[in-house]
Chain A
Amino acid sequence: EVQLVQSGAEVKKPGESLKISCKGSGYSFTSYWIGWVRQMPGKGLEWMGIIHPGDSDTRYSPSFQGQVTISADKSISTAYLQWSSLKASDTAMYYCARQAAAGIGAFDIWGQGTMVTVSS
């Protein structure tokens, strides 16, 4: 079964760092781009960025450039989203998702989501 499994919910304080993960299985992890999508409480979907695990080529939305870092470790089929200094406004559900195929900019497989809560 093709799936993406994300790490569990996190509760952090402002200023703390965080790295959440997304592990792929059931397919060739290095052959498909992985994207990250933010959903703030009660709000819509926001495209954050995308990485190709095969060569770590990474693209960011200007809205998130410099605010987060996307990375991947192909040896363990895992992508990451990290923050160096969290803010309360980072409170959201974060989804990783697999790009369907080269040339099709759709996400066909999604992780279950990781809820990040930042509160003092």
Chain B
Amino acid sequence: DIQMTQSPSSLSASVGDRVTITCQASQDISDYLNWYQQKPGKAPKLLIYDASILETGVPSRFSGSGSGTDFTFTISSLQPEDIATYYCQHYDNLPWTFGQGTKVEIK
């Protein structure tokens, strides 16, 4: 199985800050990488697919980049409603696997 390693596991930032999360794959996955947001008590929500494509309706402050083994997820200006845990997920081959998650909190 391909292992997905996210960092950091948690972070605290102020409203308006730029927030960056990284995701590293244990082998080359091209751009077969997605990002999800999960708020407490809710189902995950797809934000970005194919490493950098914003899902319809997702605010433009969210963005993704990378290819191969190293990927980045960015919130350009953190908002209070962005408090959540964020997960990366690859789909290069089966089984698809998720990163362990990054919990984002407001400072």
Contact surface of A with B, Cβ cutoff 8 Å? 35, 37, 44-47, 49, 59-63, 95, 97, 100, 104-108, 110-113
* Distance to closest chain B CB from A20 (angstroms): 15
A46: nearest chain-B partner, CB-CB: B98
Q: Does B87 contact A (CB under 8 A)?
A: yes
Say yes or no: B55 contacts A107, CB within 8 Å.
no
Q: With A and B bound together, what is the CA distance between A47 and B34 in angstroms?
A: 13
A contact face: mostly helix, strand, loop, or mixed: strand
Contact surface of B with A, Cβ cutoff 8 Å? 1, 32, 34, 36, 38, 43-46, 49-50, 55, 85, 87, 89-91, 94-101
Hey, which chain B residues are within 8 Å of A45, CB to CB?
Answer: 36, 38, 44, 87, 89, 98, 101
Say yes or no: A106 contacts B94, CB within 8 Å.
no
* Distance to closest chain B CB from A11 (angstroms): 19
A113: nearest chain-B partner, CB-CB: B43
Say yes or no: A105 contacts B1, CB within 8 Å.
no
Q: With A and B bound together, what is the CA distance between A108 and B90 in angstroms?
A: 14
5 closest Cβ pairs, A-B complex = A105-B91, A61-B95, A110-B43, A106-B49, A106-B34
Can you list 9 A-B contacts with CB-CB less than 8 angstroms, sorted by A residue number?
A47-B95, A47-B97, A49-B95, A95-B43, A105-B91, A106-B91, A108-B46, A108-B55, A111-B43
Q: With A and B bound together, what is the CA distance between A106 and B45 in angstroms?
A: 10
Query: Given A44-B98, A45-B98, A61-B95, are A100 and B43 also a contact pair (CB < 8 Å)?
Result: no
Say yes or no: B34 contacts A110, CB within 8 Å.
no
